[in-house]
Structure formats: structure tokens, C-alpha cells
Structure 1
Amino acid sequence: MGPVEFIVLAFPEEQLRVPAVEAVLGLRKTGNVRLIDGLVAAKTAQGEVMAAEFDEYVELHGLLAHREAAPLIGPEDVKEAADLLERGSCALLLVVEHVWAEDAAIAVRAAGGRIAGSVRIPAERLGAA
């Protein structure tokens, strides 16, 4: 298995923007990532946090039908992700495997190594460099 990452993709409204969602989830069709788990979280204008399964959305229905393991995203993850959201916004919470790195991860483990860490560098920092 390649490296696995929990990603929060925030949107400025309480409704998902379908073209953006389709573009992100299209990555799994390329085989570069495998979607392991996912939820939609929303923070209402009043600050209430709600979470919903993908199957509650027509555009996301069936994306996790292949899921063999128990869900990985729990209530504590939803709360932590909601802390990143403005009121009146929503987010896709995704657990993805970076399939493209699987061969390297296998070779590292076979050599007695491990993936010891990973840091996501924000696009703003790269642009500034």
C-alpha cells in the first residue's frame, strides 16, 4: 500500500460545487489515488456542524461502494475539519491512498525502512518561492 493521507477540501458555501468535486474525484479514475473513505461536512451560518455520507449526494453516490474496511473518518475527524471551516461553508473529507507511490513504499519497507513523515506544502508557499 502507498502512503495514505487525510485531506480536507473546503468550499465557501454550504453546498458542494459539482464541477470542482468531479475534477478532484476524477483523480481516482487516473489510478493515481485510491479513495478509501470520505464524508461531506458542513458548518451552517449558525455554527452547527453536520456530516453526511457520500451516498446522500447524487454526484457522490456509489464512490465508496467498493470499500472493504470499516469507515476511517470518525466524529473527532469531522470536528477537527469543521474547525477549519468558516460558518456557512462545507468540505469534502477524504482519505486517499497515493497509489503512484506504492512501488516505492513497498521497496522501502522491504529494505527495513518506513515512511516516517509527510508534510503538505501549501500552494501559496510554492508560489512565493
Structure 2
Amino acid sequence: MADEKFGPVEFMVIGVPLDGVPDAVVTEVQKLVDADVVDLLDVAYVSKAEDGTVTTLELEEIDHPALAALDPDGVGLAGEEDLLDVSAGLAPGSAALVLVVEHTWARSFLAAVVETPAEILMSERITAEVVNEVVRIGKTLD
């Protein structure tokens, strides 16, 4: 994996109020970056007005000082087509923050796998909502 620079990357779409991104969300992203759990590769904002007009903003266009301070690595993985796909899923009068993050914690693990006869046969992300629901149901059955 010596030639590989990145670990697994996740494209996240977080619904946010139309009037702006909550500071608490930005603070938590910064904590993850500072702890080297993730690297921030790209940030964008997508909104859909009540009349259906879509606005997409790259990080430097977003009026939010704490977001501007995040300083992603600038790989630009959230392209125009991706942002249009996000907007298609938004209801009128709603908005979303788009984050592209690299899971840096996985770099050395993946290197160990690649540099041995082992191989990753499957990787699947299970959302927190699903895990919490399964655990809740399991506790109810006990």
C-alpha cells in the first residue's frame, strides 16, 4: 500500500436547517479531524428553495466562519453531478451539508491487509440508526 495515499472515503449528506449549518455539527467535525480519526476531503452546501430553485455552494462560498476554518485537503471529490444528485433528494425548503471524509484510522489496517496474502472480501457500512434500532429491539425481547 506504499503507493496508496488514502484510506476508505465516505460521502455524507447531513440535513441541516435552511438558515444555516449548526455550530455543534461543525465543532464535532473539527474534533474528528483534530483527533486524526478522519481527514476532511471536501465540503459543500446544497439547498432547495420552496420554489424548487437549487443552490450549491463550495466551502469558500459558504458564509460560516467555523466551516471555513475546517480547511479540507481540497481533493474535490464532491463534484457538480454529486451535488445535483443530493439536491434531487431534498424537499423544497430544505438544505444539506455534504462532507467527504477519509477514515484515516483505517490506513494502517488496510496496509497490513494489502501487504499480506489477506484480502478484504466485503465491507459494508451500517448506519447508526439501524444499529441502535436492532439493539433496542434486542433489549425489548430479553
TM-score (norm 1): 0.82
The aligned runs of 1:114-125 (5 Å cut-off) are 115=120, 118-125=123-130
1:63 and 2:48 are equivalent in the alignment: no
1:63 offset after TM fit, Å?
2.5
One-letter amino acid matched to 1:121: I
Comparing both chains, which one has the higher relative contact order based on Cα–Cα distances under 8 Å and sequence gaps of 6 or more? 1
Residue 10 of structure 1 aligns with an amino acid whose one-letter code is G
How many residue pairs match? The answer is 127
Match of 1:109 among 109, 114, 117: 114
Structure 1 segments (4+ residues) deviating >6 Å:
none
Taking the aligned partners of 2:55 and 2:121, their CA distance within structure 1 comes to: 33
**TM-superposition CA deviations, 1:39-77 (whole Å, max 9, x none):** 11111122221111212332211433643x4x2211110
Question: Counterpart of 1:18?
Answer: 23
Distance (whole Å) between structure 1 residues aligned to residue 47 and residue 129 of structure 2: 25
Tell me the CA shift for residue 123 of structure 1.
2.4
**Which of the numbers 27, 30, 36 marks the counterpart of 2:41?**
36
Residue 26 of structure 1 aligns to a residue whose secondary structure is helix
Would you say 1:90 and 2:81 are equivalent positions? no
Match of 1:73 in 2: 78
CA spacing shift, 1:107–1:101, aligned 2, 3 Å: same
User: What displacement does 1:80 show?
Assistant: 1.3
Look up the equivalent residue of 2:115 and give its one-letter code.
A
Q: Is the 8 A contact 1:15 1:89 kept in 2?
A: no
Counterpart position of 1:52: 57
Equivalent pairs: percent with the same residue? 35
Unaligned runs of 5+ in 2: 1-5, 135-142
TM-score, structure 2 length as denominator? 0.76
The AA in structure 1 aligned to 2:132 is G
Contact 2:12 2:98 in 1 (8 A): yes
